[in-house]
């Protein structure tokens, strides 16, 4: 008896039917259990098993038998006590009542749009309905269903939930696949994946061969990837007439999608929720006796903007604002703040402890309100962890015998996830701090109280200034209603909105789709790598096409950085960038860091730029915090300061002093941990695409060459560049497009009046009143000459023209000549490498 290795096991299994009907010579017995497969032969050889290709009839027979077996297993499960309970739960969901309508719509139409209240069972039930109807059909489980989710965590938690509902192990019939992780077996017929994974699969398999159903979930979120996928799928449908596309959405904008797909039918699942009482900021203060003090007002939820909005609100609405709010807000008198303070005020800053009101409110609920879980909507996991830390020290909210405090965000561990769904013991109040993931993707049934900060972190993009920002911004009315609805699933609920009614009135009705509010560079690269033709033509076929200017900016940018050539084709660099799922500028740094053998610090820079700024600037300790950051700087670079801060933390953490180190240096522990894990993730990505081998010694040879690091940072951040103009005592900064710009006050370069280099490359510019630069590194002429722009064949002239604008003053004919020859040498070097 031999145990077969997994690859062969699969082959044997595929041809099982054949072997049974035409037993190969020498094979005596064949047995298979779920975990292994054994064959006894005369010689003990399994070479003999090389395929006799199975006939179509044999395949059908196998599939049919398999389906019979699956049906049988499900029947047994559904009759077990647990299975019966699960079936009872499933059939109580609103989606269950619409099962027949949904299945017949899918049978008769290539595209179907399904909408229904969050929690009605779209995500967990509909894929199962399709799966079950296929298994029970005459032809058996020929189906191969792919269901996309906007986030990793939902792909993982939903597939796990469905496996539990079916009494199976994850990876049997139901599996998932997300970046760098997956659980999927040969019997998997229903696969949950992130939208990005399906897009990547389309790269290799343009017709989605073998896939019978594609379900795109949460389309109401209008994420960029989802909008992009819809264009690709719309093109695919005529080529694959038997493929079924099902779109699922929480809110009722189904018509938009229906008309996009030529009037595809819509099925609505009617839901039921209990009434929820709404308390705006003014009511909260009245109800709980909370006083806004000047300190509390300078809080993260953008009181400044709130104040501005209340000014802009129509007169009659203003009368509704309880005068206390307005008085208190006025007292803070934001007009007197300097431009830089205003800027930091409007940015999210957890350490100025604007969580006072939430803490107060949670304590109030714990002490005075009826039992029921509390769901708090915050903007991101950094804020969640800071608030959690703060609450843990609270005498009431932090008392673990009374309160179960949980976090819910995209990157949490799966054990933690389970606790979120479970009902706690009697007498214990569950409090879940969540990002807007709990708005529609995850449903926590026992929530009775919702606290809504009114914001979500979203990227916005100003095409005119070509300036992207990732900042918490006000949510839309639809989102606010959705958040409120989370409180009424099991009984009437309460929703506390941490903003006055006039602010709510000023909210937009819907949120703009992501494709209209973010830079399109990565999307354009993806379009090119999928060989989808002209970028602007392709994007003009989107559900809502982005502005012409935004598309042109993105293409122009990609040409400047050398990812696209003049004819909009991918360069070698561009091709590598499409394999790195991050902003192209960060991808460029990683690639060059790997080529020039100084990956270690560059991994830290790239990871640090992918998380929130690890350097914290508490309002009341601004000077101390900035001084602490300055210690890490010796070389006029915020990026290198990040590297040193991280390396220091690594050493301290090894001696279990990581927390103390962060506290002393005004660093965020969460960011440090995130950087640490991202570094590993990025490293394995580079390994996957063959840019590093597994010898960590060689890839770090030049890690301590500060000039080289500067060059790599410049290579990534170009054309994010400004010139440093020295005056008598200080300096001013200018970019070609914006003229005068300012440094964000916590930049190490803002502290020094003499920067010994003529240029700063920067990571990001943010427009508030003036334009502020965040994270900069000073670079010399030669670095800019050699590393600014893309190093790719053929773009030399265009690149020189671009640089010429900056270098008008510096570019002596001799320099230009030197540049040309150096550049050529470098280009040759890169080619041979």
Which residues of this protein are in contact with Mg ion, per CB under 5 A?
A: 122-123
Q: Which is nearer to Mg ion, 379 or 440 (CB)?
A: 440
Q: Which is nearer to ligand CDP, 130 or 358 (CB)?
A: 130
Contact segment (CB under 6 A) with ligand CDP among 112-120, 143-151, 544-552, 657-665 equals: 112-120
CB of 731 closer than 8 Å to CB of 737: no
Which residue in the set 37, 41, 99, 121 belongs to the binding site for ligand CDP (CB under 6 A)? 121
Q: Which is nearer to ligand CDP, 121 or 493 (CB)?
A: 121
Contact segment (CB under 6 A) with ligand CDP among 63-71, 111-119, 588-596, 815-823 equals: 111-119
Please count the other Cβ atoms lying within 10 Å of the Cβ belonging to residue 401: 7
* The residue to which tokens 């916590």 are assigned: 746
Rg (CA), the chain: 29
Please count the other Cβ atoms lying within 10 Å of the Cβ belonging to residue 464: 11
Q: Is 124 a binder of ligand CDP (CB under 6 A)?
A: yes
Q: Is 482 a binder of ligand CDP (CB under 6 A)?
A: no
Q: Is 96 a binder of ligand CDP (CB under 6 A)?
A: no
CB of 216 closer than 8 Å to CB of 246: yes
Residue count of the chain = 833
Residues 137-166, one symbol each (x = binds ligand CDP by CB under 6 A, - = not), give: --------------------x---x-----
Q: How far apart are CA 35 and CA 202, in angstroms?
A: 32
**Count of alpha carbons within 13 angstroms of residue 415, beta-carbon side:** 0
Q: Is 122 a binder of ligand CDP (CB under 6 A)?
A: yes
Q: Is 119 a binder of ligand CDP (CB under 6 A)?
A: yes
- Residue 124 contact, options Mg ion, ligand CDP, none, Cβ 5-8 Å cut-off depending on partner type: ligand CDP
Residue 568 DSSP label? S
Q: Is 486 a binder of ligand CDP (CB under 6 A)?
A: no
Give all strands of the β-sheet with 373-377 in edge-to-edge order: 276-279, 493-497, 447-452, 373-377, 429-434, 403-408
The dihedrals phi and psi of 450, each to the nearest 5 degrees, come to -120, 135
Residues 6+ apart with CB under 8 A from 87: 78
Residues β-bridged to residue 472: 457
In three-state secondary structure terms, 404 is strand
Q: How far apart are CA 640 and CA 609, in angstroms?
A: 12
Contact segment (CB under 6 A) with ligand CDP among 63-71, 115-123, 128-136, 778-786 equals: 115-123
**Least gap, CB of 126 to ligand CDP (angstroms):** 8
Q: Is 380 a binder of ligand CDP (CB under 6 A)?
A: no
Q: Which is nearer to ligand CDP, 194 or 578 (CB)?
A: 194
**Least gap, CB of 123 to Mg ion (angstroms):** 3
Contact segment (CB under 6 A) with ligand CDP among 119-127, 314-322, 383-391, 819-827 equals: 119-127
Q: How far apart are CA 374 and CA 372, in angstroms?
A: 7
- Residue 443 contact, options Mg ion, ligand CDP, none, Cβ 5-8 Å cut-off depending on partner type: ligand CDP
CB of 668 closer than 8 Å to CB of 614: yes
Q: How far apart are CA 32 and CA 13, in angstroms?
A: 9
Q: Is 268 a binder of ligand CDP (CB under 6 A)?
A: no
Q: Which is nearer to ligand CDP, 123 or 173 (CB)?
A: 123
**Least gap, CB of 138 to ligand CDP (angstroms):** 28
In three-state secondary structure terms, 284 is helix
CA distances from 688 to 96, 641, 701, 830 (A): 43, 29, 21, 20
Which residue in the set 74, 115, 118, 617 belongs to the binding site for ligand CDP (CB under 6 A)? 118
CB of 381 closer than 8 Å to CB of 435: yes
**Least gap, CB of 252 to ligand CDP (angstroms):** 14
The dihedrals phi and psi of 459, each to the nearest 5 degrees, come to -85, 140
Q: Which is nearer to ligand CDP, 291 or 445 (CB)?
A: 445
825: buried, middle or exposed (CB in 10 Å: 19+, 13-18, 0-12)?
A: exposed
Helix (H) or strand (E) holding 187: none
Which residue in the set 36, 414, 445, 491 belongs to the binding site for ligand CDP (CB under 6 A)? 445
Size of the site for ligand CDP (CB under 6 A): 15
**Least gap, CB of 87 to ligand CDP (angstroms):** 13
Q: Which is nearer to ligand CDP, 86 or 237 (CB)?
A: 86
Q: Is 123 a binder of ligand CDP (CB under 6 A)?
A: yes
Q: Which is nearer to ligand CDP, 421 or 702 (CB)?
A: 421
Which residue in 620, 94, 671 sits closest to 382, CA to CA?
Answer: 671
Q: Is 421 a binder of ligand CDP (CB under 6 A)?
A: yes
- Binding residues for ligand CDP, rule: CB under 6 A, are 93, 116, 118-125, 157, 161, 421, 443, 445
């Amino acid at each position: 008896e031999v145990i077969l290795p997994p690859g062969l096991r699969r082959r044997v299994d595929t041809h099982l039917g054949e072997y049974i009907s035409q037993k190969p010579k020498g094979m005596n017995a064949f047995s298979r259990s779920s975990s292994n497969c054994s064959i006894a032969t005369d010689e003990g050889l399994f070479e003999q098993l090389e395929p006799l290709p199975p006939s179509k009839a044999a395949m059908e027979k196998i599939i049919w038998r398999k389906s019979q077996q699956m049906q049988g297993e499900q029947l047994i499960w559904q009759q077990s006590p647990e299975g019966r309970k699960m079936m009872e739960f499933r059939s109580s969901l609103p989606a269950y009542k619409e099962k027949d309508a949904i299945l017949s719509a899918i049978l008769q139409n290539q595209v179907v749009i399904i909408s229904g209240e969050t929690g009605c069972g779209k995500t967990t039930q509909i894929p199962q309905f399709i799966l079950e109807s296929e298994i029970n059909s005459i032809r058996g489980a020929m189906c191969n269903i792919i269901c996309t989710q906007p986030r990793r965590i939902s792909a993982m938690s939903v597939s796990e939930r469905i496996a539990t509902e079916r009494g199976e192990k994850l990876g049997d019939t139901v599996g998932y696949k997300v970046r760098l992780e997956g659980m999927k077996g040969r019997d998997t017929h229903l696969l949950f994946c992130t939208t990005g994974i399906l897009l990547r699969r389309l790269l290799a398999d343009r017709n989605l061969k073998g896939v019978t159903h594609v379900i795109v979930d949460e389309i109401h979120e209008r994420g960029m990837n989802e909008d992009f996928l819809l264009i690709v799928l719309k093109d695919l449908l005529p080529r694959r007439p038997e493929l079924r596309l099902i779109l699922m959405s929480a809110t009722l904008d189904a018509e938009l999608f229906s008309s996009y797909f030529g009037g595809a039918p819509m099925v609505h699942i009617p839901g039921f929720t209990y009434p929820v009482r709404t308390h705006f900021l003014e009511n909260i203060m009245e109800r709980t006796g909370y006083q806004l003090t000047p300190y509390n007002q300078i809080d993260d939820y953008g009181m400044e903007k709130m104040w501005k909005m209340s000014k802009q609100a129509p007169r009659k609405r203003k009368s509704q604002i309880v005068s206390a709010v307005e008085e208190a807000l006025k007292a803070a008198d934001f007009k007197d703040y300097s431009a830089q303070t205003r800027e930091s005020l409007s940015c999210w800053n957890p350490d100025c402890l604007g969580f006072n009101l939430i803490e107060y409110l949670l304590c109030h609920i714990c002490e005075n309100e009826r039992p029921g879980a509390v769901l708090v909507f915050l903007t991101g996991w950094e804020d969640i962890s800071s608030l959690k830390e703060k609450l843990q020290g609270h005498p009431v909210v932090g008392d673990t015998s009374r309160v179960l405090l949980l976090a819910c965000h995209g990157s949490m561990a799966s054990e933690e996830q389970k606790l979120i769904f479970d009902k706690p013991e009697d007498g214990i109040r569950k409090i879940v701090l969540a990002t807007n993931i709990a708005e529609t993707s995850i449903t926590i049934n026992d929530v009775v109280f919702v606290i809504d900060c009114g914001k979500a972190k979203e990227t916005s993009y100003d095409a005119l200034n070509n300036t992207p920002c990732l900042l918490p911004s006000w949510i839309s009315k639809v989102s606010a209603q959705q958040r409120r609805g989370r409180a009424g699933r099991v009984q009437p609920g309460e929703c506390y909105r941490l903003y006055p009614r006039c602010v709510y009135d000023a909210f937009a009705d819907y949120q703009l789709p992501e494709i209209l509010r973010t830079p399109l560079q990565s999307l354009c690269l993806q379009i090119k790598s999928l060989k989808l033709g002209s970028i602007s033509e392709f994007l003009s076929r989107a559900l809502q096409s982005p502005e012409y200017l935004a598309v042109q900016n993105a293409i122009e940018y990609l040409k400047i950085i050398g990812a696209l050539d003049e004819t909009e084709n991918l360069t070698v660099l561009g091709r590598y960038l499409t394999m790195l799922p991050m902003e192209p500028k960060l991808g460029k740094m990683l690639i060059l860091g790997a080529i020039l053998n100084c990956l270690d610090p560059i991994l830290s820079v790239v990871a640090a730029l992918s998380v929130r700024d690890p350097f914290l600037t508490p309002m009341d300790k601004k000077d101390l915090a900035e001084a602490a950051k300055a210690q890490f700087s010796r070389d006029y670079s915020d990026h290198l300061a990040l590297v040193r801060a991280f390396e220091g933390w690594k050493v301290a953490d090894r001696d279990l002093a990581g927390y103390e180190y962060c506290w002393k240096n005004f660093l965020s522990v969460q960011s440090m941990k995130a950087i640490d894990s991202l570094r590993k993730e990025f490293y394995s990505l580079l390994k996957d695409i063959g840019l590093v081998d597994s010898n960590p010694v060689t890839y770090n040879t030049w890690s301590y060459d500060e000039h080289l690091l500067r060059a790599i940072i410049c290579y990534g951040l170009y054309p994010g560049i400004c010139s440093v103009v020295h005056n008598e005592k200080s300096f001013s900064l200018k970019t070609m497009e914006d003229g005068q710009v300012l440094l964000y006050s916590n930049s190490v370069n803002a502290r020094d009046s003499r920067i010994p280099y003529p240029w700063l490359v920067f990571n990001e510019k943010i427009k508030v009143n003036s334009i502020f630069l965040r994270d900069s590194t000073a670079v010399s002429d030669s670095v800019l000459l050699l590393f600014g722009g893309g190093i790719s064949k053929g773009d030399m002239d265009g690149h020189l023209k671009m640089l010429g604008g900056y270098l008008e003053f510096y570019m002596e004919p001799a320099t230009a000549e030197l540049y040309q020859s150096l550049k050529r040498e470098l280009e040759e070097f890169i080619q041979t490498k």
